[in-house]
């Protein structure tokens, strides 16, 4: 049986990827941000899962406004980095895990979550920047990855509650897989940020901390948050945080916080990062 043992959340700022790629992480502006990931990098070396289910959003790279899937599951054997305007990032091609992805596609769709299935997909900073933050600059990523792309770019995105329920369904489905696999799930994006309009640059530290507290302890309650509240309290792009609810739903009712980091700002964004461990409820 496969098990989801850990969850991780992190922001996915594109400038962070460029800073890594250009060898500038030790510059005064960036060092405090990257220092905040040192604990996780050491932890991740000791805790290499077989597969990461990486929940992220595409930023008009693989999908255009002509095609907007709410949830798209990466079922391919590999996912190349997307060209976001400056050429593809110099990072390894992401190796998929097609057998588990096919199992998830069947399990989730029969569980009434109608996913779009992707057999060819390029992945942008939403997916590659979190991998770089945790694994640095290897020749090959040390894990296989199943991308799960969520529409948070074009209205209407899925609700926080729908995301939380999808996470719970992912847990059920993964546990029915007949191979012994250690699976981690990552929820990416956020925290508070707004990139456009009169409130561009908006960040809400108090709200972000409360969000992380409640995500760990009361995800059910948090899943009741409405879109308007995300946008009002966390900025227009703060809606990316619904993806953290998918991660949390997949960890089961109780989770232990192993590590937290929060830093303001990274580019235009409040950087939030958590490492969580699933606490199995007694049978």
Which sequence positions are flagged as catalytic?
A: 125, 193
**Does 231 interact with ligand DHB (rule: CB under 6 A)?**
no
Binder among 6, 59, 103, 248 for ligand DHB (CB under 6 A): 59
Cβ atoms of 109 and 59 closer than 8 Å: no
d(CA 192, CA 196): 13
If the CB atoms of residues 2 and 127 are measured against ligand DHB, the closer one turns out to be 127
If the CB atoms of residues 113 and 244 are measured against ligand DHB, the closer one turns out to be 244
**Does 13 interact with ligand DHB (rule: CB under 6 A)?**
yes
Residues in the chain: 283
**Does 12 interact with ligand DHB (rule: CB under 6 A)?**
yes
**Does 236 interact with ligand DHB (rule: CB under 6 A)?**
no
Q: Would the CA dihedral through 80, 85, 87, 89 be positive or negative?
A: negative
d(CA 195, CA 231): 12
**Does 61 interact with ligand DHB (rule: CB under 6 A)?**
no
Instruction: Name the helix (H) or strand (E) containing 209.
Output: helix 205-217
Is residue 60 left, alpha or beta, with left meaning phi > 0 and alpha meaning psi from -120 to 50? left
Binder among 237, 241, 242, 261 for ligand DHB (CB under 6 A): 237
From the CB of 60, what's the least distance to ligand DHB, in Å? 10
Joined tokens for residue 73:
């599951």
Rule CB under 6 A: which residues touch ligand DHB?
12-15, 59, 193, 195, 237, 267-269
């Amino acid at each position: 049986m496969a098990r989801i043992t850990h969850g991780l959340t992190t922001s996915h700022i594109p400038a962070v990827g460029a800073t890594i790629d250009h060898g500038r992480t030790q510059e005064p502006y960036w060092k405090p941000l990257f220092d905040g990931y040192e604990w996780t990098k050491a932890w991740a070396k000791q805790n290499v899962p077989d597969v990461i289910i990486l929940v992220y959003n595409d930023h008009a790279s693989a999908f255009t406004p002509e095609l907007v899937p709410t949830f798209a599951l990466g079922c391919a054997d590999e996912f190349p980095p997307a060209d976001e305007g400056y050429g593809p990032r110099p990072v390894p091609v992401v190796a998929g895990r097609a057998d588990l992805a096919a199992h998830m596609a069947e399990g989730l769709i029969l569980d009434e979550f109608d996913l779009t299935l992707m057999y060819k997909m390029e992945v942008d900073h939403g997916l590659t920047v979190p991998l770089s933050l945790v694994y640095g600059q290897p020749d090959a990523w040390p894990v296989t990855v199943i991308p799960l792309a969520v529409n948070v770019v074009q209205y209407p995105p899925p609700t926080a509650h729908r995301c939380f329920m999808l996470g719970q369904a992912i847990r059920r489905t993964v546990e029915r897989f007949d191979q012994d696999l250690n699976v981690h799930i990552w929820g990416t994006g956020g925290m508070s940020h707004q990139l456009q309009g009169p409130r561009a640059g908006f960040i809400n530290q108090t709200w972000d901390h409360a969000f992380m507290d409640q995500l760990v302890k009361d995800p059910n309650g948090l899943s009741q948050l409405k879109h308007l509240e995300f946008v009002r309290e966390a900025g227009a792009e703060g809606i990316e945080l619904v993806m953290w609810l998918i991660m949390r739903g997949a960890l089961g009712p109780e989770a232990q916080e192993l590590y937290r980091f929060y830093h303001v700002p990274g580019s235009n964004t409040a950087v939030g990062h958590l490492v969580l461990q699933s606490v199995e409820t007694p049978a």
